Amino acid sequence: MRLALAQLDVEPAAVTANVDRALAAIDRAASRGADLVVLPEMFTVGYFAFESYAREAEPLAGETLTAVSEAAADAGVAVLAGSLVEDLEASDAAGFETPAAEGYANTAVFFDRDGERRAVYRKHHLFGYDSAEQDLLTPGDRLQTVSFDGFTVGVTTCYDLRFPELYRDLVDAGVTLTLVPSAWPYPRVEHWKLLPRTRAVENLMYVAAANGVGEFEEASLLGRSTVYDPWGTTLASADDDPALVTAEVSPETVAERRAEFPALADRR
């Protein structure tokens, strides 16, 4: 399977321009043979544009996710739209299960090649340090997995990388590939390089971390989107410019590594 991470330039509160870039990246990735495209965290409004969260929030059936679903179907490629500000009340009113009847969530959605919504992940761990995320959003409480091209795919978001127990839950759910849409800023470059690689090594799974780039008043996103294999080897990566990061991944590789080095069987 060919995996593509769309490292987008995310402008603060420039939703129309940001979404247009995301849709163009989906088409570009499909033209290069991608089977699955991953968009970064808050690719619509920009993670640090906190004052715009409420104004730009959308339900799951809103304009942006509808456009992404249609782009996936038109291109014949699966897409993780990861993520945007979800209006929980509007989603709930439309019949979608939400963690709360009101408020907002940091929500990623997996669309299959036909544009069908297959999974919804609401970020579990909301960032508090120098961030308004904990004050503005409601954390998610569910993990959904998706079967795709021989993989069992899981999703986590950015700050979730610092909580290894979440990834153990994914392993117990059979996950072999975890997608991590992110908005990771400078100066924590070494943390960004260490944490997804560690999650790959300790769980013997692929971890694909898709970050954005762009300047905000509070921070700058550091890019460096990377795909790690189950040994923690870097398969593909970028610097801090907009890029499309592609890598070939194989479910057989996960099975081989776990059989060759069965550390997960020694958990106590």
Residues annotated as catalytic (active site), given as ranges: 41, 123, 158
3-state secondary structure labels for all residues of the chain: CEEEEEECECCCCCHHHHHHHHHHHHHHHHHCCCCEEECCCCCCCCCCCHHHHHHHCECCCCHHHHHHHHHHHHHCCEEEEEEEEEEHHHHHHCCCCCCCCCCEEEEEEEECCCCCEEEEEECCCCCCCCCCHHHHCCCCCCCCCEEECCEEEEECCHHHHHCHHHHHHHHHCCCCEEEEECCCECCCHHHHHHHHHHHHHHHCCEEEEECCEEECCCCEEECCCEEECCCCCEEEECCCCCEEEEEECCHHHHHHHHHHCCHHHHCC
